[in-house]
Structure formats: C-alpha cells, structure tokens
C-alpha cells in the first residue's frame, strides 16, 4: 500500500477520488482555490461542489503543490484537459521520477489532439503513467453506491498496488493494458453525450435516443481502432459502461449541455451557468479533426462539432443525419 497519494485538482471528481482513496492510504489534495482547500481541511466539506456531503477528515488539502507532492508515491491528476499540461508542468519540480502519474480526466487537448497520458509522457518522460476511467458519476461514488471502474497503466508500475488504493467495498476496479483505448473511449463518449442530450432537448423520442447511442458508439469505436485502440475496450466499462451512465443520468454535464442546445440555447450561455467543465464541448472539434486525419467517417460527432462551433443548429444537424445515403449497418 502506498504511504501517500497526492490528488491534483479540487473539483468534483478530484474531491471524490480523494475521499475514496483516503479510506486506504494517506491522501493529500491540491486545490487552486484557497477557500476550497480551507473548507476541506477544516470543515471536511467542499463548499463549492459538495456543500452537503461530509468528506473523510483524514484528507489534507492545500494550494501549494510542493507541500502536496513532497512525499507522494502516486499522483492522481483530476484537471480539465485544456489546463492539464500547464498543471503537469507545474508539478515537474516536485515529483520523483519513479512516481506514477495517473490521469483522472476525460478529454483531448485541442491544440495537439493528445490524450492526457500522452501529455504526461511528453512532459514527464521518466514517470510511469496511466488512466482511471469508467462510469463514475462523482456524487454517486460519494454516496457509496456500488461502482465499477477500469485502471489502464503503462510503464514500470505495480498495477496491483495501484488497484488496491482505489478499491473499497463499493468501488471495484478492473485493470486493462489498453491505455489509448480507455482514454479515447472516455473522451469520445462526452461528445456522444452531447448528441444524446440534443435529441432529448429536441423531443425526438426513445427510438432516436437508441439509434444515436448505438450508431455513435460504432463510429467512435472505428476511430479508436484506427488510432490503435482495442475494439473490445469500447464494449467495456471505459466505453459502453461510461456511455450508459453519461447518456442516461441527469447528473451528466455533457448530456445537460446537449439538452439545453437542443432546446435552442447558445453554448456560451449554458456554460456560463455551470460550476463544472463539460469536456465534450472542447473535445468535439478534436474528434472531428482526428476523424479526418485517420479517414474514418464519424457523421454524428461531425454534426456535434458543427453545432458546438455555431455552424449549424441541432434541428438542421438532425435533418442532415437522417438524409444521409443509405448504407449497411456494419
């Protein structure tokens, strides 16, 4: 068991993971906001994200990276994808080379199209890396509802040791060697959740919802395979599992944003009212770019990117999808 785990990011998921792993080992949590750090350390609550949930008193929170990382044997990074590289660079001076750095984020960097483990490998080439992903709605994990997740790692890492720091009576962790597949599945599903939300906002019905989910997953699995992922990963917890949770839960940020867009609201107005980041907004144009690069047809994702980019409305995007040429399902 690790003697100290550092969780980087005091948002909803970072706070939840800190609460989770503190049941097994010493846990320190880095927060940007001094008020959030103080409320977690003194009141054992994240007053910004989870004011009504009591956190484990063992969690130590701070705004100082050096303090959080000084004794860390494992670093878990829960930072939004577009800020991820900047924080990783800030961590460099304080990390030991042998410390595994595990991404808890689900997104792709816009400028580079990199996954988060690719960002880690570029900036911290001597540190092992990996990703924890799956159908993990933060509030349900905090409530202690039974949850399953998948941990994919690469490099010289004690997988069993990592697995053990997350595992509790209500949080079950499976392992995988398909790091790229797990990351792509987690990032891609946020784009599809936007599409699902749009269909709900448009009031198109359950048949449409089922069609969008199944056809959307098929196109994203094709893109993932073209990029080196295993097809079965998209049928597992990182793919289908996460997709089900994100598309059907009212707690889903990306589904919420899509639903609001389907009702005719503007992206900027919806985002301005949210505390958390909806990663699908930033990931959609990256998926469209990757699809062109790898020459894979992703019609649903393309239309989501067009809607998010203000090029088309959800009703027009829906019509264009329905008017596409007929084809075989496979």
Side by side, which strands form the sheet with 171-176? 60-62, 27-30, 5-8, 74-77, 101-103, 129-133, 147-154, 171-176
Count CA atoms closer than 13 A to 187's CA, side-chain side. Answer: 32
Closest CA to 104 of 7, 239, 232: 7
CB atoms within 10 A of CB 34: 11
CB atoms within 10 A of CB 266: 11
Residue 189 annotated to the active site:
yes
> DSSP secondary-structure letter at 32?
S
SS3 60: strand
Q: 165 burial class (0-12, 13-18, 19+ CB within 10 angstroms)? A: buried
**Selected catalytic residue, list 28, 106, 126, 189:** 189
> DSSP secondary-structure letter at 325?
P
14's CB contacts (< 8 A; 6+ apart) are: 7, 8, 29, 76, 78, 79, 104
CA 307, CA 313: separation in Å to the nearest integer? 6
Q: What are phi and psi of 288, to 5 degrees?
A: -60, -40
Closest CA to 80 of 249, 302, 273, 253: 253
Q: 145 burial class (0-12, 13-18, 19+ CB within 10 angstroms)? A: exposed
CB atoms within 10 A of CB 164: 15
Residues with catalytic function: 189
């Amino acid at each position: 068991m690790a003697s100290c785990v550092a969780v980087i990011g005091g948002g909803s998921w970072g706070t939840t993971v800190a609460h989770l792993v503190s049941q097994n080992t010493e846990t320190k949590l880095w927060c940007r906001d001094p008020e959030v750090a103080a409320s977690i350390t003194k009141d054992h609550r994240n007053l910004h994200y989870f004011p009504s949930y009591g956190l484990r008193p063992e969690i130590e929170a701070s705004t100082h990276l050096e303090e959080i990382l000084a004794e860390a044997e494992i670093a878990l990074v829960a930072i939004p994808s577009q800020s991820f590289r900047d924080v990783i660079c800030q961590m460099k001076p304080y990390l030991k080379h042998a410390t595994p750095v595990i991404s808890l984020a689900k997104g792709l960097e816009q400028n580079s199209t990199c996954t988060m483990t690719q960002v880690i490998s570029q900036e911290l080439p001597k540190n092992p890396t990996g990703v924890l992903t799956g159908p993990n709605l933060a509030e349900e994990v905090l409530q202690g509802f039974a949850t399953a997740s998948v941990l994919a790692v690469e490099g010289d890492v004690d997988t069993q040791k990592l697995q053990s720091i997350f595992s509790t009576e209500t949080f079950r962790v499976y392992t995988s060697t398909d790091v790229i597949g797990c990351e792509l599945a987690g990032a891609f599903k946020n784009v599809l959740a936007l599409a699902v939300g749009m269909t709900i906002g448009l009031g198109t019905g359950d048949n449409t919802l089922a069609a969008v989910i199944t056809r959307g997953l098929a196109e994203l699995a094709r893109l993932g395979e073209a990029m080196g992922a295993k097809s079965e990963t998209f049928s597992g917890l990182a793919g289908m599992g996460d997709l089900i949770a994100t598309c059907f839960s009212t707690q889903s940020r990306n589904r919420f944003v899509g639903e609001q867009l389907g009702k005719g609201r503007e992206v900027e107005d919806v985002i301005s009212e949210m505390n958390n980041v909806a990663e699908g907004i930033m990931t959609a144009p990256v998926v469209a770019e990757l699809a062109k690069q790898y020459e894979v047809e992703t019609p649903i994702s393309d239309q989501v990117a067009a809607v998010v980019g203000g090029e088309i409305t959800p009703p027009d995007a829906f019509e264009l999808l329905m008017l596409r040429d007929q084809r075989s399902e496979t």
